[in-house]
Structure 1
Amino acid sequence: MTANASAGWSDLGWHSWDDLALVRARLDAGADPNDGAYPYTRPLHAAAERGSPEVIAELAARVDDVDAECEGRTALWDAVFNKRPGIARALVAAGADPWRTMMNGWSPGRLSLAGPTPGLFFPFPQGHATLTEAEAAAVAEADRLIAVLDELEDEDGFSLACVRGITAAEAARRLAAEPADEAEVDEILEDPFHDEALRLIGVTDVPGGCVVSQASGYMADAPGVMKALSAGTVAYGMFANPKSGNQGCVFRDGEVVDWDTHPGGGNVSPGASAAEILLEFLYEGHAEAYCFAAAALRPTDARSLTSPDTHLRLPEADYWP
């Protein structure tokens, strides 16, 4: 270890933040407790996401402000968002304020009401907003939806498009897709490298809209497909890329709104809306469920991805303009 490394934070790995002796040694060697963990991240925030209560206590005793914000939120907010109640309690013991307003109205305390430990900061103080009726309903729906789609959590290689407010028949019309012969479908599905495999998609009506899916391939959320499906509405797409992880996109009224997203990845920007923050919080680690929820679809089972109602053949076209 070089002298420069011993006096800073730049080389600390994911698990280093739970090593009290290492963190204390860095601090004693001159590492800044207020800054320099990683680009755009303070040491206390890094420890809130990855460290131990003991490291939190050590850092909190040395920082200028335990409620200093980074990317629009405090270390306590990060602990709550990452569902780390032990870390949250350690930060509160060090003086962090659970009810400080940030992130579009989501204080750490209010956000905790939507998570697995809603009693984390009770008793609830007067003068602070609780969950709205719609937010409480979203929390209940998240529990239901995640359970419905649980069997898909370890799958990859498939793609989907969740489209709000249109039927499967309308999706077929927009894509100019023709019904595929079931015998031919069986043949193609047995061989994912079949020449016609990428042109074969499934469509299924679900409460709130419809789902376009492909068991092995990326065509369900190809730009040309998403553009056609999202006319006059919104569509959330995703390809479960076995090499690089879940790759998402959002189209609204035929135009791309967001590309190369990571649905359910737990990343929120300071400018995210209150609804977007809640979605990311509720569906972290549940990419498929995130897409369904964002499009306001309420499936009662996973058949739209495992056994679509109808298989269609896409016409030959450039789907990657």
Structure 2
Amino acid sequence: MSTRDFWHLQDWNDLASVRARLAGGESPTARYGSFEETPLHLAAAAGAAEAVTAMLAHTREVDIPDERGRTPLWWAVEHLQGQTVRVLLEAGADAWRPCVGAWTPGRLALTTGLAPLVAGTPGVVPLTAAQRAAQTRADRLINVFSAEKIHTEGLGVTFTDVLGEDEVIRRLGADPAKCPVFQQDSEMDQRGLFDAGGNYAVGVTGTALGCIVSQPFSNELDDDELARRLAPATTYSLFFNPKGGTSGTLFRDGTEVRHEEVGSLTPFADDPPEHWLYRFWQRPSITLPYDANLLAYACAMGGITKATARDCWALSCGPRRIVRCR
């Protein structure tokens, strides 16, 4: 973003500043920034309802799109800003206008507490029973990971549908009898626990539908190698790079099916529907603590579609078993 764009995008959520700038001839729909966002987009996302009202008196472009086709209403919905959603709808914003592929602001809002604001708007497309059920399942899994304090920076975690800790340990090339069960405790020195396991040590914790293989402080065991050892299986490996960005890889029977960056931007139209289901679109991410939606997504993609708070202890309190894979 240029210096000019930076300064033009400042203070558009402050009512006094907005009034002064509008009186000076500045446009609420001038495009700036890498996404060609407008001051109206920014004020909508910030929840500055009075500023949005003031801007709408100076423009009829209530549904002006940014570079990706997203309207101010979309920005307000993805930031869960109910006040600005209401103001924009009252000004004639179209909740059912496709913004990213076929995805509309109204479709997103129906899965949140904003649903009553769009439920009666013209052109409403209610969720089907199947869509409601799928969202409920996803949100339950997100809630499971939200309940535990999980430190994700530098975390490598693989979810797999292989049943039984002993079976996973054998596939990793170790003897289950030599991998005792540890007391899971958030106060335990997990780094010391893994260091004691030596190079390529991973944690293994069983769940009712599979296992969680964790590497909290490194990603020494390559995802490809881990998937190869666990095959035949479905696995999804997630790595929270401490240098920035989160990547995920889906494997089936040791073969890579999908490698992706997850959670950094609103999904694109051709992204998998699960990206929308697990709320990659929702901003700010602080509404979903501990990267809970990314962990829930990875868990489901790895074949574990149900989990409990106790299962999450694998990441918050440490694994049940430590396995040295070499």
Q: TM-score range by the shorter chain?
A: 0.7 to 0.9
Letter in 2 for 1:21: A
Do 1:204 and 1:210's aligned partners in 2 also have CA atoms closer than 8 Å?
yes
Tell me, yes or no, if the aligned pair for 1:230 and 1:252 is still in contact at 8 Å. Answer: no
Alpha-carbon separation, structure 2, partners of 1:256 and 1:244:
25
Structure 2 stretches lacking a partner, 5+ long: none
Identify if the C-alpha distance between structure 1 residues 47 and 222 changes in structure 2 by more than 3 Å, giving closer, same or farther: farther
Q: Secondary structure at the match of 2:88?
A: helix
1:36 to 20, 31, 34: 31
CA contact (8 A) 2:202 2:213 kept: yes
Alignment match, 1:252: 251
Matched residue, 2:108: 111
Matched residue, 2:210: 209
For the Cα contact (< 8 Å) 2:63–2:73, is it kept in 1? yes
Q: Report the CA distance between 1:114 and its aligned residue.
A: 0.7
Task: Tell me the secondary structure at the aligned position of residue 289 of structure 1.
Answer: helix
The answer on 1:122 being equivalent to 2:119 is: yes
Give the C-alpha shift of residue 244 in structure 1: 4.2
TM-superposition CA deviations, 1:198-226 (whole Å, max 9, x none): 52212233344332112333346745435
Query: Given the superposition, is the C-alpha separation of residues 62 and 269 from structure 1 closer, same or farther in structure 2, using an over 3 Å criterion?
Result: farther
The alignment partner of 1:194 has SS state of helix
Identity rate, percent: 29
Partner of 2:14: 19
Residue 313 of structure 2 corresponds to 303
Residue in structure 1 matched with residue 91 of structure 2 by the alignment: 94
3-state secondary structure, aligned to 1:257: strand
In structure 2, give the amino acid aligned to 1:292: C
Per-residue deviation, 1:97: 1.0
Deviation at 1:92, TM superposition (A): 1.0
Q: Summarize the alignment of residues 163-182 of structure 1 with structure 2, pairs less than 5 Å apart.
A: 163=160, 165-167=161-163, 168-169=165-166, 171-179=168-176, 180-182=178-180
In terms of mean alpha carbon deviation, does 196-205 or 218-227 score higher? 218-227
Q: Secondary structure at the match of 2:296?
A: helix
Equivalent residues of 1:9, 1:38 under 8 A apart: yes
171 and 181 in structure 1: CA distance in 2 versus 1, 3 angstrom threshold:
closer
- The number of equivalent residue pairs is 303
Amino acid at match of 1:291: A
Matched AA of 2:118: F
Deviation readout 1:210-245 (Å, 9 max, x if unpaired)? 321123333467454356557663514133x5x445
Q: What TM-score do you get using the length of structure 1 for normalisation?
A: 0.76
Match of 1:308, as an amino acid?
P
Measured in 1, the distance between the counterparts of 2:318 and 2:58 equals 57
Q: Which runs of 5+ in 1 are unaligned?
A: 316-321
Residue 314 of structure 1: aligned partner: 325
Contact 1:188–1:194, Cα closer than 8 Å, also in 2: no
CA distance 1:27–1:247, change in 2 (3 Å): same
Instruction: After TM superposition, give the deviation of residue 190 of structure 1 in Å.
Output: 5.8
Give the corresponding residue for 2:135. 139
- After superposition, the CA RMSD in angstroms is 3.6
Comparing 82-91 with 287-296, greater Cα deviation is found at 287-296
Q: Which residue of 2 aligns with 1:269?
A: 268
The change in CA–CA distance for 1:210 and 1:192 in structure 2 (over 3 A counts) is closer
Give me the TM-score of the superposition, normalised by structure 2. Answer: 0.75
Question: CA-to-partner distance for each residue in 1:131-178, whole Å, 9 max, x for gaps?
Answer: 233321233234432332234345244321123x33355544554345
- Kept in 2: contact 1:19–1:55 (CA 8 A): yes
